Structure 1
C-alpha cells in the first residue's frame, strides 16, 4: 500500500472511530435500513452449519451476527478497521447470546488470515471506502477456500438514493465544498454496474452475479431524518462543521422543505438502492 492509500486508510479509521457513538445510538434504525441487503447476501452465500465465515467492514456486526445465529456449530470472524465499531459488535454479540464469533481489528488490504481459510466472505457497504479496491478483492479471494462464496453490496447511483442526496445536495448548493479527486473513497464510488464484478473477476472469481435492489423505509419525521444524518454521516458532519449557525439553520430548513415536497410531515421515508454482487472462487 502506498503512502497516499495509507493516509486515506488512517483517515477512514479515525472517522469511523469518531462516529461510533452515533452508530451505536442509531444502531436499531441503521440495521433495519441495511437489513434487506444483508438478507440478500446471506441468501446468496447460503451459510451451512459448521462453516467458517468472514464478515469484512462489519461495523456494528451485520450481517455477520445474523450469520452466526444461523450456524451455531460454525464460526464467524468479524473484522473492521475501527476498534470502536468492533466494541459495539462484541456488545451486540453478547446481547444476542452469540459465542461462535471472533473479532479482529485489521485492514482489508492485509487480512491476518492464511490462504484458503474461509468457506464464505461477506462485505456489506465496505468496498467503496477501501483505498485500494483491487487489493481488497485479491485479499478476499486469497482467504477464500476453493469453491468458497463471496457476497458484497455497494450503493447504487446518487439519483436512486434520495435518502442521502436530499441532505448532501442541499449542503452542496449552499457551501463551496472541495471536489474529491476521481476514484477517492466515497458512497457512490462503486455505483457503476459491473465495477465490483470486474474487480472480483480480475482477482480470480468466477460465476459472478449482480443484482440491483430498491428499498424504502419509513423513519417518521424530518427531525428524525436530520438527527440521524447529523450523528452518523461523517461527510455531512464535516461539511456542517464549516457552517455558522445561520447557514446551518438555512440548510436545515431547505432539507425539511425538500423532504416535505415528497412526503407528508409525519411520513418521511428513506428511499435507497444498492447493488449486490455474488461470486465464487
Structure 2
C-alpha cells in the first residue's frame, strides 16, 4: 500500500552538489526526460512543493528540485528539511561532485567567482562548500562524479540513471574498467580481475575484446574464474536486496583488469546477466575503457 501511495504522489528528486559540478546540465537533462524541474528552491519551500505534488500527482508525476548554496544561509536548513520529508515520503537525492582542480578550471573558464569565495580564492569557496555539503553527500542516493565528463556525457549519464525503468526499485550499473586509467570514483564496490591470466599476452586474443567469444572462453577456462563469478554473484544478491529495503535506488559495481579491455569486460557481462534475475533490480552494463588504446 505504501509503495502505491508513493507512485500516486509522484516521484521527487532533490538535485544538489558542488557548484561547477554540472547541476544546470543535470537539470536540463531531467527536463528533457519529462521531469518538472524547479531550480534554486529554498529548502523551506520543499514541504509546500511536496504538498503540491501530492495534490497534483497526475499533472506532476516526476518533480526534480535543484537546491544549492546559492540559497546562502537558507541552505543550512536543507539536511533537516530532507530528514523530515523522508519520514513522510520516498525522496531521492542526487549529489553532483567533481575534484577540486576540475572545479577550479571550470570556474576559471567561465570567469566567474565561486558563490562562497567572498574575498578569498576559488579554492577557498570550494573548501567551504564541501564542508557545508558534507551531510548531504553522506545521505545521497546517487553520487555522480563529473570530473571526467563533458556536458553531453553528463546529460547521457543522468538520462541513463533517471529514465523510468518499469517497476524496478533499484538500478544497478555493472561497470568494467582498467586500473591503469584509475578507479571509477562513483563505484560502490570494486572487483579485481587481475588474478586471472591476461589475454593481452596471447597474440591471437590481443586485438579482440571481452565481447568476443574467444576471449570469454579463454577467461572462463582459467583456474578460479568460474568459482569467483559464482561466489561473487551469490554474495551480491543479499546486498541488492538490502539496498532495496534501505531505499538506496542506485549502485555501481566496478569490475577491473589492467586495461579494461578483456577480463573485466567478460566478467562484467557475466555478472550483470546473473544479477538481472534479482527481483526489483534493473541492471545495465557499461564499459568505461573498452575503446581506449
- TM-score when normalising by structure 1: 0.31
The higher radius of gyration belongs to: 2
